């Protein structure tokens, strides 16, 4: 009876040992770590501290200089009116004058334009206000059409309300949302008879600002309400923790 070839035995044993080590390494490399993924949220109510409002007025004439002179007189009337209402010159600024040529167009039976008659120059200017006195400017924006009685052709826009400390507010909300996410993860781990491990990943969600007590929907890119004085800010944080 032949004795087993010692060299062959060594090769077989070496191959088996190599395959064992390889399988262990493969399992170690691709071993899945158990994790808990949660989303924390935080919100806060706040009041706007700055109002931005604008209005525009215009004059029309066949003569540009006449339209310009009339518009500058209107500017004086508007500025004086705003100052009598308690606004300072620092809170007000005017835009450059916009000039537009006006025409009356005529059309043939096919609807094609066949003529144009010049009817004059329209010059317009806007007045812009930025102030921390929200109630005062809000009232002015609603009452400024009284200037129409003085011959000023003025159009008032709706005010916009902003918050100048939005950066600090956002940082505070991130801290609260992160703490909320951690608490949720701890509850899940505790009730699953596990221990919460290290944080693996954290991602900030969309920052939303909506009006209080208003039926506004969140948007994918983040809502940013400017029409309400009283607002609500909301933010989310998505986190992933290891489980021991």
Domains of the chain by residue range: 32-47+165-243, 52-160
Q: How far is CA 30 from the centre of its chain?
A: 42
Helix H, strand E, coil C: the string for the chain is CCCCCHHHHHHHHHHHHHHHHHHHHHHHHCCCCCEEEEEEEEEEEEECCEEEEEEEEEEEECCHHHHHHHHHHHHHHHHHHHHHCCCCHHHEEECCCEEEEEEEEEECCCCCEEEEEEEEEEEEEEEEEEECCHHHHHHHHHHHHHHHHHCCCEEECCCEEECCCHHHHHHHHHHHHHHHHHHHHHHHHHHCCCCEEEEEEEEECCCEEEECCCCCCCCCCCCECCCCCEEEEEEEEEEEEEEC
**What do you get for the CA distance between the two ends of the chain, in Å?**
57
Torsion of CA 165, 166, 172, 178, to 10 degrees: -170
Angle at 189 between CA 179 and CA 238, to 5 degrees: 40
Residue 34: band (very low, low, confident or very high) from pLDDT cuts 50, 70, 90? confident
Q: Above 80 in pLDDT, residue 176?
A: yes
| pLDDT, position 50 | 96
**pTM score > 0.85 for this model?**
no
Question: Residue 152 and residue 76: Cα distance in Å, rounded?
Answer: 11
Share of residues in the chain with pLDDT > 70 (%)? 86
Q: Considering only the top CATH level, what class is 32-47+165-243?
A: alpha beta
| pLDDT, position 26 | 45
Mean pLDDT of the chain: 87
Using alpha carbons, select from 28, 37, 4 the residue that is nearest to residue 243.
37
What is the fold, at CATH topology level, of the domain defined by 52-160? Alpha-Beta Plaits (3.30.70)
| pLDDT, position 13 | 58
């Amino acid at each position: 009876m032949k004795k087993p070839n010692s060299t062959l035995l060594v090769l077989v044993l070496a191959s088996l040992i190599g395959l064992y080590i390889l399988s262990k390494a493969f399992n170690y490399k691709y071993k899945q770590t158990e994790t808990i993924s949660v989303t924390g949220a935080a919100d806060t109510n706040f009041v706007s501290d700055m109002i931005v409002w604008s209005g525009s007025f215009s004059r029309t004439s066949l003569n540009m200089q006449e339209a310009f002179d009339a518009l500058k007189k209107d500017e004086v009337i508007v500025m004086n009116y705003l100052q009598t209402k308690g606004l300072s010159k620092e809170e007000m600024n005017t835009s450059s004058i916009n000039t537009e040529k006006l025409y009356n167009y005529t059309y043939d039976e096919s609807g094609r334009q066949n003529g144009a008659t010049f009817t004059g120059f329209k010059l317009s200017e806007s007045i812009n206000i930025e102030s921390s006195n929200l109630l005062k400017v809000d009232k002015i924006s609603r009452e400024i059409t009284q200037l129409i009685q003085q011959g000023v052709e003025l159009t008032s826009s709706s005010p916009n309300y902003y918050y100048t400390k939005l950066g600090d507010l956002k940082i505070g909300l991130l801290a609260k949302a992160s703490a909320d996410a951690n608490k949720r993860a701890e509850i899940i781990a505790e009730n699953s008879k596990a221990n919460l491990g290290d944080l693996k990943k954290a991602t900030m969600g969309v920052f939303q600002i909506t009006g209080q007590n208003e039926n506004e929907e969140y948007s994918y890119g983040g809502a940013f309400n400017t029409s309400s004085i009283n607002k609500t800010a909301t933010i989310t944080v998505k986190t992933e923790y290891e489980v021991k």
